[in-house]
Amino acid sequence: MRIVPLCYRVVKVQASDILWIRSGRNVKSERVGAIPSNGTEIDIIGPEKFVREIRFVPIKYKIIVGWVSRRYLEEGC
């Protein structure tokens, strides 16, 4: 069994941009929040799901719960 780290941070997002949090595991799902490019303390709260080639993970950031692409998260804070 793989232990999931307690904390993740945003990577591969330009300083002037944000990482959108979506209501579902689809790039067309409603935006429910955003994480700044230097965002930290992001929790992955469930298993990843693949949609075509994109690996989505359910996350919690502050009080917002939603989905983001796993490629923009890195272990550690």
pLDDT tens, residue by residue, 9-49: 999 999 999 999 999 999 999 999 999 999 999 999 999 99
pLDDT given at position 34 = 98
* Assigned token pair, 46: 């469930």
Q: Is the pLDDT assigned to residue 5 strictly greater than 60? A: no
* Assigned token pair, 11: 């990577």
Distance between CA atoms of residues 73 and 59, nearest Å: 10
* pTM flag (> 0.75): yes
pLDDT given at position 6 = 76
Q: Give the chain's domains with CATH numbers.
A: 8-75 (2.30.30.40)
At 65, the amino acid letter reads V
